[in-house]
Amino acid sequence: MQDFAAIDFETANFERCSVCSVGVVIVRGGEIVDTFYSLIQPEPNYYHWRCVQVHGLTCADTDDAPVFSEVWKVIEPMIEGLPLVAHNAPFDKGCLKAAFYTYQMDYPDYEFFDTLKAARRRLPDLPDHQLQTVAAECGYDLSNHHHALADAEACAWIAREIL
């Protein structure tokens, strides 16, 4: 796979529509050509302690952030015509669809590829297939795990190696 957009969402709570940050990495011709990161004011706008424990974001970080529909206006032209790639794609696709539904936007049925599924197939002997483990096996040091842009970059690296 030479042309794609790796994407990662973090959520404020256990509602898939509660995206509070997004990272996008654009790959063309096998090279990273652009990146995008934004905080997002989640909907519903509350943080579950477990999610905060994972990614470290709180209401104080996103109270002045744009809502999803505004952020997507920036992302949409960046990813036009590209398949989306995510590690555990059902989660990120679910977040995207839920956010589109919440903001009453028409979902264009983006094509998704899953690096987790591919890693399980291509790298069966790893001790686990978590993002940081697969990224390390593919030669990428994921030092800022659960930051949406860092995770999207790791996913892009994995996709270039195994998809």
- The average pLDDT across 83-98 equals 98
Q: 19-28 and 31-39 as β-strands: parallel, antiparallel, unpaired?
A: antiparallel
0.85 surpassed by pTM: yes
* CATH (domain of 78): 3.30.420.10
Position 1 scores a pLDDT of 85
Residue 77: pLDDT over 90: yes
CA–CA separation, 140 and 24 (whole Å): 17
Question: What digits encode the pLDDT tens for the residues 24-64?
Answer: 999 999 999 999 999 999 999 999 999 999 999 999 999 99
What is the count of structural domains for the chain?
A: 1
Instruction: Give residue 68's domain range.
Output: 4-162
- The average pLDDT across 63-92 equals 98
Q: What are phi and psi of 22, to 5 degrees?
A: -140, 140
